Amino acid sequence: MKQYLEKLINHENLTVPEMKEATRCCFTETITETEIAAFLTALRTKGETPDEVAGIVEVIRSQSAFSTSHMPNVMDNCGTGGDKSYSFNISTTAAFVIAGAGIPVAKHGNRSISSKTGSADVLEHLGVSLAFSKEQIEEMLHENEIAFLFAPHVHAALKPFTKVRKDLGLPTIFNAIGPLTNPISLDTQLIGVYRRDMLQMMAESLHKLGRRRAVVVNGAGSMDEASLAGKNHLIILEEGKLTPFTFLPEEVGLPTYSNEKIRGGDAKANAKITRDVLSGKTGPYLDTVLLNAGLGLFASGTAKSIEAGIDMARESIISGAAKERLQRLIEFSKNIPSEVI
C-alpha cells in the first residue's frame, strides 16, 4: 500500500491494475484503519480518475457473495445522492415503472444518507424485505422483472471501509461509486449525479466497466435525477462513444415544475407518494417519475427517444403493470426475515 500512497500524495494517477491491488490490500487482515483512511483521503485530494473508479468498483463487486455473471438486459437506475433536494424517492418509484414496461431492474440502494428517506427506508415501509438471498434476487428478476439489493446486505465485506468513512466524516470516492457497485452484472444503466463536473468521469467509468449503453444525468437545480425545473445535462454512452446533450421539459412533452414541488418526507409519506404515482395520481410526482422512467427506458435502448420512453412509462402505469411489480415484491417478501442492518 505504501507505494500507492506515495504516488497519490505526489498527485500521480493509479492504473486500473494498481487501483485493484491497492483496494485488495484494504481487505487484508494486515491493513490498518489509518492506511485505509490515508488511501481514501489521498484519492480525494488528488481527484479520482475513471481508471481508479473502475479499479475499486471491480474489486468491490468481486468481494460480494451476490456477484453474478452476465445477466442479459438487466439494468439499474440509481443516483449518487448528495443533492440535498429532499425529493421523494424518484428512482425507486421509477424502477417499478421501468420493470412494468418489461425491462428487468436490479435496484441497488441504501438507507438515507443525504436525503430524508433512502430507497431501503421507503421499500421497507411498503413491506419489501431487505434480506433477499442471491437466488431469490435472480428469481425475482426472472419472474417479476425487479429485485431490490440492499447495499449493506450485498456488500458485507465493506465493513472496514464503512467504519473509516464514518470516522473521517468527509466525502470520499465512495460518495460517487455507490451506483456502480451493483453486484449484478448489468448491461445498461441510468445514473444521476448532483455535480455536473462528474458527468464525464462517471460516463467514462461506465465504459471501462463494460456497460453496453448508459445515460448519466445531472438534473436542473443540481439534482441527481432528471428534473422538470429546467435544463437537464446528460451524457449517453453507446458503443463506446460518449455524447453530451441537454433537454428542457417542454422538449419531451412534459410541464415545468420547481424542485420544491417534488419534496418528500419520511418513509411513511414517501411510501404514500410511491403508491399514489403507481396508481396514476396526476401531478408533479407522477410527471417526474414519467420523465425518469422514460429516461431509464431510453438508457436501456428499449425506447428510441426520451419521448418514446415517457409514452412507455405512462402505459406501464395506466395498465397497472408497474403497481403489480411492487405488489409481487411485497408478496415475495412475506416469508423472508426482516433485515436489521
Coil, helix or strand at residue 63: helix
* Residue 222, marked binder: no
* Residue 311, marked binder: no
* Residue 270, marked binder: no
Could you tell me how many helices (H) and strands (E) the chain has, helices first?
Answer: 15, 7
Residues in Cβ contact with 81 at an 8 Å cutoff, skipping those fewer than 6 apart: 113, 114, 115, 175, 178, 194, 224
* Residue 91, marked binder: yes
* Residue 79, marked binder: yes
* Residue 85, marked binder: no
* Residue 224, marked binder: yes
Q: What share of the chain is helix, strand, coil (3-state, %, to 5)?
A: 50, 15, 35
* Residue 185, marked binder: no
Residue 162 in grid coordinates: 464503512
* Residue 87, marked binder: yes
* Residue 144, marked binder: no
Compute the distance between CA of residue 182 and CA of residue 61 in angstroms, rounded to an integer: 7
Q: Could you say which DSSP state residue 262 is in?
A: G
Q: Cβ distance 314 to 280 under 8 Å? A: no
In this structure, the strands spanning 232-238 and 213-218 are antiparallel
* Residue 304, marked binder: no
The residue whose grid cell reads 500512497 is 5
* Residue 62, marked binder: no
* Residue 316, marked binder: no
* Residue 44, marked binder: no
Residue at 303: amino acid letter: A
Q: Cβ distance 188 to 300 under 8 Å? A: yes
Residue 95 in grid coordinates: 424502477
* Residue 165, marked binder: yes
Q: Cβ distance 251 to 295 under 8 Å? A: no
Closest CA to 57 of 205, 207, 237: 205
Residues in Cβ contact with 310 at an 8 Å cutoff, skipping those fewer than 6 apart: 252, 253, 254, 290, 291, 293, 294
Instruction: Quickly count: other Cβ atoms within 10 Å of residue 120's Cβ.
Output: 25
Compute the distance between CA of residue 229 and CA of residue 220 in angstroms, rounded to an integer: 6
Compute the distance between CA of residue 277 and CA of residue 281 in angstroms, rounded to an integer: 5
Residues contributing to the annotated binding site for 5-phospho-alpha-D-ribose 1-diphosphate: 79, 82-83, 87, 89-92, 107-115, 119
Residues contributing to the annotated binding site for Mg(2+): 91, 224-225
Residues contributing to the annotated binding site: 79, 82-83, 87, 89-92, 107-115, 119, 165, 224-225
Residues contributing to the annotated binding site for anthranilate: 79, 110, 165
